[in-house]
Amino acid sequence: MAILVGPDTRLIVQGMTGRAGTFYSDLAISYGTNVVGGVRPGKGGGRHLRLPLFDTVADAVRETDANATMVMVPAHKAADALMEAIEAEVPLLVCVTERIPVLDMVRVKHALKGSKSRLVGANSQGVLAPEVCKIGVMSTADAKPGPIGIVSRSASLSSEVVAQTTNAGLGQSTTVGIGGDPIHGTGFVDCLELFMADPETEAVVLIGEIGGAEEEQVAAYLAESGAKKPVVALVVGRHAMPQRCMGHAGTLSVFGTGTAEGKIAALKSAGALIAENVEEVSVLLKQALGR
């Protein structure tokens, strides 16, 4: 059983007709995701990838009963696209676009409060439930159904851990990329709560990095909730230079905060199993599950 997505997911794509939108929409369709249409202002009434196009998200939802959207809109217009989806009450928004202006994302975060929408991203690699549904840009080559939930800030490390858990004979229930920008929607704790409530997920891999305080929030959640499922944490960036972005816009340690060492210490004290490197993740999982 997956979290966030499932066989009943009906996906529209905002920005479907662009180069990236076309490429990743086609991959999603080929994987079996139920893509029901696209949104491109000015092209409503046309078709793309043999699917109907709509001028607005509201039109698309009304005509297709869509319950999820993938946002592939350039950064300077992405916030407006997200706001439109929130106003149309789309339940799940997955935003691949990275480096959306911070003040734009502040506006989006404010709009999400009290809304009927959940945002994954921005700068998310997406959500993948193996052999069920793919939204985003994640590779599906190594994904296999199984009991391991993965939540990550890093796309490349997600792919590596997916491959490892598959090769270890475990597989994944869902892989979620929360995004590497400093301001985003659904976070680590939100995903852990969903995984802990999912009867098909037996253990969770958390892939963190320097910057922000989400890993520390996970540590507080684990300590307070008494979560029963094993959590294997990999936090990268131990050798990163302070006060310099390392890859994502959100990977920035400033004034001694958000360091890998501090995050690792907090997670370890809360009972998470710490992987020193990516190769240890599947080893720790198998030990924790007695396999």
Residue 150 sits in the same domain as residue 253? yes
Residue 241 sits in the same domain as residue 167? yes
Beta bridge partners of 35: 11
What does the radius of gyration of the chain's CA atoms come to, in whole angstroms?
Answer: 19
* Residue for token pair 């202002």: 41
Q: Which pLDDT score is estimated for 245?
A: 57
Q: Which pLDDT score is estimated for 251?
A: 58
What average pLDDT score do residues 168-179 get? Answer: 97
Residue 160 sits in the same domain as residue 114? no
Q: pTM for the complete prediction?
A: 0.95
Residue 76 sits in the same domain as residue 188? no
53 within some domain:
yes
Measured CA to CA in angstroms, residue 2 lies from 56, 197, 201 at distances of 29, 11, 8
What CATH number has the domain bearing residue 212?
3.40.50.261
Residue 102 sits in the same domain as residue 213? no
133 has a pLDDT exceeding 70? yes
6 within some domain:
no
Q: Which pLDDT score is estimated for 269?
A: 97
238 has a pLDDT exceeding 60? yes
167 within some domain:
yes
Q: Which domain-ending residue is among 63, 87, 120?
A: 120
Count of domains for the chain: 2
11 near 135, Cβ under 8 Å? yes
Name which of 157, 161, 156 is nearest 144 in CA terms. Answer: 161
Q: How many CA atoms lie within 13 A of 282 on its CB side?
A: 16
Identify whether 184 is a catalytic site residue.
Answer: no
25 within some domain:
yes
Domain of residue 99 covers 11-120
